[in-house]
Amino acid sequence: MSTHTPSHKIKKRAAVQNYTTLIAKTLQAGLNQSYTLQQLFTALKIKSKSDKAKIKKALSELLDKGTIKKIRRGGYLYASGPIYLTGRVDYVRSEYAYIVVPDQPKDVLVRQKNLLSALDKDLVKVCLLPSKGGKRPEGVVVEVIERNPAPLIGRIIVSGNQPQAIVEQKRITYKILLEGANTSMLKKNDKVVIALTAFPASDKSVTGKVIQHLGQAGLHEVEMHAIMAEFGLKETFPDSVLASIKNIPTGITEVEINKRKDLRHIPTFTIDPADAKDFDDALSYQPLANGHHQVGIHIADVSYYVLPDTLLDQEAYLRNTSVYLVDRCIPMLPELLSNELCSLRPNEDKLTFSAIFELDAAGNLYDQWLGETVIHSNKRFSYQEAQANIDDQRGDFYQALTLLNDLAKQLRKKRLAKGAINFETRELVFELDTNGKPIHIIPKLRTDTHKLIEEFMLLANKEVATYVAKLKQKKEKVGPTFIYRTHNHPDPDKLNEFFLFVNQLGYKINSANMPIYKAMHLLEEAIQGKQEENIIQSLAIRSMAKALYTTKPNPHFALGFPHYTHFTSPIRRYADLLVHRLLKHYLKGERLYDAASYEKKCQYAVEREYLAVNAERASVKYKQVEFIQNLKDEIFQGIISGITEWNIYIEILSNGCEGMVRLADLSDDVYVFEENNFQVVGKHLKKCYRLGDVVKVKVKSCDLDKRYINFWLC
């Protein structure tokens, strides 16, 4: 009698063993997330009855071995020991915070009782809890590894022998007992910068010392300096840096001019906001004998003045970007450079780094040249002045402006046809009185001249990136080191959720049957001029990935470019300065391979960009609250811009101010949040408030410290 096992049984056993491995790996990689049987079928793409039977058998084997365990609601969970992760605290509400863990797809939710006294931005160790089937993993903080070293901004509430300050940190409020010799000068309602000396324990007590006395809360300068202190921003530069640039030559030598292409004879001009002082870029235009057009994009040659590893360079790197608050610019470079030596001011010779293109009337590119130049700007336009000259067909350079505008429209048309997505968020302009109080808030008007400058800057950035990307030789895995600006494809789940929302608003776009950019173009056309246009554009941008700096030459999805960089703003962005330095090497035929150190610089640039955006947003929020608090008797029309299980967020249509209505303040019913339907619905009367609905609101209360507005629904 044969002792061999039939071959079909061996195959079946092997199949089960393969599935045990796949199931174990799936559950292990799921960040403590449980899977039901059906979810495992979906995750492993199991469809046939025989394969489903093998999955069930594999699950039984894994359960018997103790590799996995079965939990409530029929879920399966990997049965390893506790899973620990390390991340930064991101407070959202007083009830909970998220722990942001690098390289994890989802943040970990931690309830207030499980935060172990951790404050916002503290580095913590979190232990994951068994999944309860929610969308986010939950956890418990088991250790505060590192306290956030950033100072806190407080307002004095008790002065005298034992002064106290109140600190609003996002949605969390702390009272801090102040110690130290300099507390006697403090008055009630003074704003101060505090360094914590003892952190909250079980009694929630916090002590600290005042490291900067800003002045009385509510004064414009005090509040702007409070925001700067909150984000670690400094208007002034260290004395050592200022001393190091005192002897920078202000003139341009003939020797330097002879090294460069001299373009001073070509008509050149700048177009910038009316209040701008740092002019990064200029345009020149010349008709060519063959009927084509020569367009020059000339960028301030900051790399000529800011040399690597100098005190000036080190300070510029630390700042990494200029920050634009409501009323001021906190510059990356001292004024001597940003507003004088590097700024392309009219009627002055300036050193530049140029990208010169030959284009036909349809915007097709025939030739290009990149290199160091010297220019002479003949005119400084504001956007409004340049637009008026185009509209009226008269005034300085109106013919050149008109031709450039026509070319820009052709470039834009070609860009959109190749897959660019054109959504943008609404920007606000604040008119302030002499005391810095907001009088008016209006949306920033985007004219053709704004789009003109944008298109030519995009062209220069794209072509510079493409030039370097093409330097990669056949035998190389990667080309020479460079800094690219990249943008990944959007997450399919976020995108599906977004289109589900717009479909519920009545915009029936079948995004599954066309490229994403075409669906977005159809939507852009459909919402133009509608009340919900801004909210849909904002949600569209939120559904996309974030643009990043990296040494990897990946595409930029939103722009539809295979390669893209930032070359055009070196006065205000350090990444652009690095791009200039690298490009100069490559134009000389040199090659540099140092991806590791430049990738670190890219990561730091992303961090500083994020900080700058948040600081700018904080100044806008403060001024919005300051503006709206005096209009408590007015009824405003607003659009629902966000919904959570606690609040309805509403943006006023006329001025862009956003506030919230607490669901607890809706007294006509008990409202339940339906996340999948983007709405809250009354339990009894079934009244519904949905994302995108237009409603009427009245100001209930304002909190300048927290920078938020509470509304009543009318």
Checking if the pLDDT of 31 tops 70, the result is: no
pLDDT of residue 135: 65
Q: What is the domain-level CATH number for residue 46?
A: 1.10.10
Residues 377 and 464 in one domain: yes
- Mark out the alpha helices in 162-247 (DSSP H runs): 220-230, 239-244
User: Do 507 and 526 contact (CB within 8 A), yes or no?
Assistant: yes
Query: Residue 32's closest CA among 66, 71, 3?
Result: 71
Structural domain includes residue 173: yes
Residues 302 and 427 in one domain: yes
- Final residue before a domain boundary, out of 146, 171, 189: 146
- Encoded tokens for 408: 């820009």
Provide the number of structural domains found in the chain.
6
- Final residue before a domain boundary, out of 95, 112, 146: 146
Reduce the DSSP state of residue 253 to 3 states and report it: coil
Structural domain includes residue 613: no
Checking if the pLDDT of 364 tops 80, the result is: yes
Burial category of 25 from C-beta neighbours within 10 Å (exposed 0-12, middle 13-18, buried 19 and up): exposed
170 confidence band (pLDDT: 50, 70, 90): low
Residue with tokens 């700024």, as numbered in its chain: 343
Q: What is the domain-level CATH number for residue 125?
A: 2.40.50.140
Residues 204 and 349 in one domain: no
Q: What is the domain-level CATH number for residue 157?
A: 2.40.50.700
- Encoded tokens for 295: 């367009």
Positive or negative: CA dihedral 309, 311, 313, 314: positive
In degrees rounded to 5, what are phi and psi of residue 597? -70, -35
The torsion angle over the Cα atoms of residues 128, 132, 137 and 142, rounded to 10 degrees, is: -30
Residues 108 and 156 in one domain: no
Residues 351 and 275 in one domain: yes
Checking if the pLDDT of 233 tops 50, the result is: yes
* Least-confidence region, from 144-148, 315-319, 557-561: 144-148
Rg (CA), the chain: 29
Checking if the pLDDT of 5 tops 80, the result is: no
- DSSP class of 407: H
Structural domain includes residue 587: no
DSSP 591-622: ----HHHHHHHHHHHHHHHHHHHHHHHHHHHH
- Final residue before a domain boundary, out of 471, 500, 521: 471
Residue-wise pLDDT for 644-653, tens only, equals: 888 999 999 9
Residues 249 and 380 in one domain: yes
Residues 371 and 438 in one domain: yes
Structural domain includes residue 400: yes
Residues 272 and 333 in one domain: yes
Structural domain includes residue 484: no
CA angle, residues 484, 485, 486, in degrees to nearest 5: 105
Checking if the pLDDT of 426 tops 90, the result is: no
Residue-wise pLDDT for 477-502, tens only, equals: 889 999 999 999 998 888 888 888 88
Residues 258 and 401 in one domain: yes
Structural domain includes residue 278: yes
The torsion angle over the Cα atoms of residues 213, 215, 219 and 222, rounded to 10 degrees, is: -20
Residues 138 and 287 in one domain: no
Structural domain span for residue 179: 152-217
Mean pLDDT of 407-436: 92
DSSP 317-376: HHH-B-EE-SS-EE-SS-HIIIIIISS--TTSEEEEEEEEEEE-TT--EEEEEEEEEEEE
Contacts of 586 (CB under 8 A, 6+ apart): 467, 468, 471, 480, 592
Structural domain includes residue 326: yes
Mean pLDDT of 281-295: 97
Query: Long-range contacts: 76-80, Cβ < 8 Å, 24+?
Result: 76/23, 76/27, 76/34, 76/35, 76/36, 76/37, 76/40, 77/27, 77/32, 77/34, 77/35, 77/130, 77/131, 78/24, 78/27, 78/28, 78/30, 78/32, 80/28
How far is the C-alpha of 36 from the C-alpha of 56, rounded, in Å?
11
- Encoded tokens for 337: 């450079």
Residues 64 and 183 in one domain: no
Mean pLDDT of 11-34: 67
Q: Any idea how long the chain is?
A: 714
Structural domain includes residue 456: yes
Residues 192 and 273 in one domain: no
Query: What percent of the chain lies above the pLDDT cut of 70?
Result: 94
How far is the C-alpha of 510 from the C-alpha of 523, rounded, in Å?
10
pLDDT of residue 569: 97
